Amino acid sequence: MRYELIHAHNPGPYTGAGNNTYLIPGRAPVLIDAGTGDSRHLAGVAAALVQSPSTLLTRILVTHGHVDHASGIGALLAKWPKAVAAKMPWPERDDRYAACWSAIVDGALIAAGDTTLRAVHTPGHAPDHLCFFDEASGILFTGDLVVSGSTVIIPASSGGDLVAYLASLRRVLSLQPVRLLPAHGPAIDDPAALVRQYLVHRQSREDQILAAIRVGVDTVDRLVSHVYEELDEQLVSAARESVLAHLEKLRSEERVRAEANRWVSR
Ligand SMILES: [Zn+2]
C-alpha cells in the first residue's frame, strides 16, 4: 500500500520530534491522526493530496483522544469540510474537540486509499486506542501503542491500564504485521522483536517494583526514584503514572495492597 508520512510540527517533551500522521492516497484518500492544527501540517496534507488520484480527503481516522492526535481535527475539517472525522468513542475526551465524530468499532473495515483498513481496538495507553491494519501489506498504523527505542506512557490516573496494554501488545503480535508505523519516531520493521522486548521490559519493571515493595519502598514517589535512575525532571510525572500503572495491575492481581498512601505486598 502507498502512504505518506506528514509531520504534525508539534515537537515537545512528550511528543519527541512531533507527531507522525499518515496520508493514504488513492481513490479514497484518508489521513491517520489529526495533529494539532499547525498550518505546516495542513500544508503538508494539502501537498500530499495533490499527488493523489483523488484529491478529496474522505476520512480522518484518529487513533485515540490525546491532544497531539486529535486536537487538529477542527482545523482539518475547516479546510476539508466533507471529510468524516472518525475514532472509537471516549465521550469525556471527544467533546473537547471541534468535530462531530463518527464512531469506529473494533473490527470495522474502512476504505482507505485503494485498500481496506481494519480497526483493531488496542486499549492500555488510552481506553479508545485503535490501530489500523492493512492485511494485504502487513502494515499496521500503531498510534501510541509502540515507539522505537523507548517505551510508551501508561497514564494510570487518566484512562491508562497496564493489564489492557499487555493484552493489546499480544493481540498485535498475533496479527503478525511486517511493519509498524507509529505516531512518534521511525517505522519499525521487526515488529515481533520490539513487541516481545516490550513484554520483557514490563515484566522486569514489575519484578523490580515488587522487589522494592518487599524491602519497604512503599510510596509512589519513593518507587519512582528507586526504579528510574537519573530521570529528566520533565518526565517525572510520566514515570509516576507508569509506576502507578504497575501498582494497579499488581493490586488487581491481589499481589499488593494500598494502605493510605503506602503500598505493601500481600
Ligand atoms: Zn497518546
CATH numbers and ranges of domains, the chain: 4-189 (3.60.15.10), 201-265 (1.10.10.10)
Rg for the chain, CA atoms, rounded: 19
The β-bridge partners of 7 are 20
Helix axes 191-214 and 236-252, enclosed angle (nearest 10): 80
Amino acid 10 reads N
Task: Give the residue with greater pLDDT, 121 vs 232.
Answer: 121
pLDDT band at 54 (very low <50, low <70, confident <90, very high): very high
Q: What sign has the CA pseudo-torsion 257, 265, 225, 144? A: negative
| CA 125 to ligand 1 center in whole angstroms | 6
Q: Is the pLDDT of residue 16 over 90?
A: no
| CA 5 to ligand 1 center in whole angstroms | 18
Q: Which three cell numbers stand for residue 101?
A: 465524530
Q: Is the pLDDT of residue 256 over 90?
A: yes
**Which residues have their alpha-adjacent CB atom under 5 A from ion ligand 1?**
66, 144
Q: Is the pLDDT of residue 150 over 90?
A: no
pLDDT at 180: 98
Q: What is the 3-state secondary structure (H, E, C) of 126-191?
A: CCCCEEEEECCCCEEEEECCCCCCCCCCCCHHHCCCHHHHHHHHHHHHHHCCCEEEECCCCCECCH
pLDDT band at 149 (very low <50, low <70, confident <90, very high): confident
- Distance CA(123)–CA(128), nearest Å, equals 6
Segment 85-112, tens digit of pLDDT? 999 999 999 999 999 999 999 999 999 9
Predicted TM-score of the model (pTM): 0.95
List b or e across 229-246, with b for residues whose CB sees 16 or more CB atoms inside 10 angstroms.
eeeeeeeeebbbbbbbbb
| CA 259 to ligand 1 center in whole angstroms | 31
| CA 144 to ligand 1 center in whole angstroms | 5
- What average pLDDT does the structure give for the chain? 96
pLDDT band at 13 (very low <50, low <70, confident <90, very high): confident
pLDDT at 47: 97
| CA 126 to ligand 1 center in whole angstroms | 7
| CA 108 to ligand 1 center in whole angstroms | 21
pLDDT at 14: 78
| Cβ atoms 177, 191 nearer than 8 A | yes
Catalytic residue positions? 68
